[in-house]
Amino acid sequence: MRQMIGAFYSQAVSGRGLSILASAFVLSSCLGIVRAGPLDEDTERLIRHANLGNAKIGLSVIDLDTGEELASHGADSALIPASTMKLLTTGMALKVLGEDFTFRTELIVDESVSPPILIIRGDGDPALGDPAIFIDETPGVELGTLLDQIAMSLKAGGITSLSEVVIDDRVFDREYTHPAWPEDQLNRWYCAQVGGLNFHTNVINVYTKPSTGGTPIVEMIPDAYWVQMRVKAKSNRKSRDTAWVSRPTKANSFTVHGNVSAQSEIPVAVDTPPLFAGRVFAQALAERGIPVGTEGRDGYSAVRLWDVGDEFVESRVVAVITTPIADVLKRINTNSHNLYAEALLKRVGHEVTSDPGSWENGGAVLRMALSDALGADAAETTVISDGSGMSRENRVTANTFVGWLRSAARSDHWDTFSQSLAIPGEGTLRKRFTIDSLRNSLHAKSGYLTGTYALAGVLEHPRTKQRVGFSIMLNDVKVGSTSRNAKPFIDDVVEQIDAYLSEIAGDPAMGG
């Protein structure tokens, strides 16, 4: 994916409101009649031999084309979904925003003052400056390329200096951190704060390597001069590398701890991402010949967030940085990137309500989408806390997941949705399912929190194109020998489905 940047005239963008087509799929049951699915007996045998202790199991397998139930166990139990929650978030975003949606970060120059003001209008794009989106470029170069393009666009527009940089982040609220996320992990990349303007996935990459002296060498990207980086770590090439970085305060103040015995990269989440991003931009522009600030006011203090009462003459948009939704979906469902999922949830909330996107209005839209696709019961039994599954307050049933998959499979955006999911050997499935273990194509989303394991997705036969959707969730798995059995059990269920698909298609037996 390449983020595109170029000159544009200012355009008014109007919200399209919620437009979700009702799915023809309705979950139903035959009252008073219990019919065993063709895979129920095999599934129960796997459960009996899995040694999962007292773990809670939610499992549902259906034919996505006919709706036939193939296997079910605890399928109506609302369990913690972990990162499989992202299937609901991404599917809902496709329904609301559409396949052609593109995030747009606008750079606007207000020339009513001299030097002019640069307004960076965020759209919640989680991919802005993400090193993973640049292909065939070395670390550090990708950021320089993007910032070079921004500076060139300003210079092409005749801008040689700026009085200040104002970050218009009103697309989202300023509740950057979800209240249900674990406090002791808020410095980790997977708990990165979520802003209306995001940059470099809202983390600093800290690079450590041992030195001949006692203090290790520490560098960071982005190289932000205003960030306080204390080094309490020690160099010792003979010991195990235990380097880590803390950010205990609600400020961009970091400390490197532990022992440094080798080169390592440590991503650490920053505080107040929109302001951090603005300061990175201001520093980069100054380094490229466009100083920011006025007499007595340096580039650091000349960057601020949009304030109540601000009014600017938007004389022209000098550049727009764009990211298509398909690239965002891929990063979410293949790599399980939490920031991307949360930004998508909030962006949908803004799209529908025109208010700043939040976990509340994004969650409300997701509940509406569930009700529209699967009925009121599915919406009522689903607890929506966040969009990524990092929160342990989320609750979803296995039946809701497979119903959601079937609804997506019957929609116009199925190809985009399914192609965003991981395949064996890729993303979160890179170490699961060998090339010889499955005979059908698998697209799936995994999930993990301590004590929680999940996998949901679809298997498709290459010739008949029959598709089987599944959701498998394990909760309350004890750490130790029981937890070591969790992933193998889930994978065994998937391989059982795979064998069933091949058998009913008349394929020869494995090895035959």
Q: What is the 3-class SS of 41-54, one letter each residue?
A: HHHHHHHHCCCCCC
pLDDT digits (tens, 9 = 90+) for 121-167: 999 999 999 988 764 444 444 678 889 999 999 999 999 999 999 99
Note whether residue 287 is domain-resident.
yes
> Can you read off the two tokens belonging to residue 420?
């965003």
Q: Give the CATH number of the domain where residue 418 resides.
A: 3.40.710.10
Count up the domains in the chain and report the number: 2
Residue 267 belongs to what H/E stretch?
A: strand 264-269
At residue 237, the pLDDT reads 87
Q: Is residue 16 part of a domain?
A: no
Query: At residue 504, does pLDDT exceed 50?
Result: yes
Radius of gyration of the chain (CA): 25
DSSP string, 256-310: EESEE-S-EEEEEEPSSHHHHHHHHHHHHHHHTT--B-BTTB-TTTTEEE--TT-
The mean per-residue pLDDT over the stretch 174-191 comes to 96
pTM, two decimal places: 0.90
Rounded distance between C-alpha atoms, residue 193 and residue 186, angstroms: 8
Q: What does pLDDT average to over the chain? A: 90
Print the domain residue range for 461: 39-80+398-403+414-505
Domain boundary among 325, 344, 367: 325
Burial of 431 from C-beta contacts in 10 A (0-12 / 13-18 / 19+) = exposed
- Whether the per-residue pLDDT at 21 is higher than 80: the answer is no
What tokens were used for 119?
């307004």
pLDDT of residue 508: 83
318-322, 391-395, 464-468, 505-509: which range is least confident on average? 505-509
Q: Are residues 76 and 107 in the same domain?
A: no
**Residue 11 pLDDT > 60, yes or no?**
no
From the centroid of its chain, how far is CA 300?
30
Look at residue 207 and give its three-state secondary structure. strand
Q: Does residue 25 register a pLDDT over 70?
A: no
| Residue 120 bridge partners (DSSP) | 107, 167
Residues 45 and 114 in one domain: no
Residues 191, 265 within the same domain: yes
Closest CA to 42 of 77, 67, 75, 73: 73
Asked if residues 456 and 490 have their Cβ atoms less than 8 Å apart, the reply is no
Residue 294 confidence (pLDDT): 79
Q: How far apart are the C-alpha atoms of 184 and 388, rounded to whole Å?
A: 18
Q: Which of 289, 309, 325 is the last residue of a domain?
A: 325
pLDDT over 70 at 22, yes or no: no
Per-residue model confidence (pLDDT) at position 35: 57
Q: Looking at the domain assignment, is residue 255 inside a domain?
A: yes
Confidence of residue 436 (pLDDT cuts 50, 70, 90): confident
For the segment 66-83, what is each residue's pLDDT rounded down to a tens digit?
Answer: 999 999 999 999 999 999
Contact yes or no for 96/20 (Cβ under 8 A): yes
| Helical H segments across 354-485, by residue range | 359-374, 376-380, 398-409, 414-419, 481-484
% of the chain exceeding 70 in pLDDT: 90
Bridge-based pairing of strands 234-235 and 69-73 is unpaired
pLDDT of residue 511: 54
Q: Do 263 and 151 fall within a single domain?
A: yes
Least confident range from 82-86, 250-254, 366-370: namely: 250-254
| Beta-carbon-side half-sphere exposure of residue 341 (alpha carbons within 13 Å) | 30
Report which of 139, 246, 232 is spatially closest to residue 188, judged by C-alpha positions.
246
**Residue 174 phi, psi dihedral angles, 5° rounding:** -110, 30
Same domain membership, residue 315 and residue 223: yes
Among 273, 292, 325, the domain boundary falls at: 325
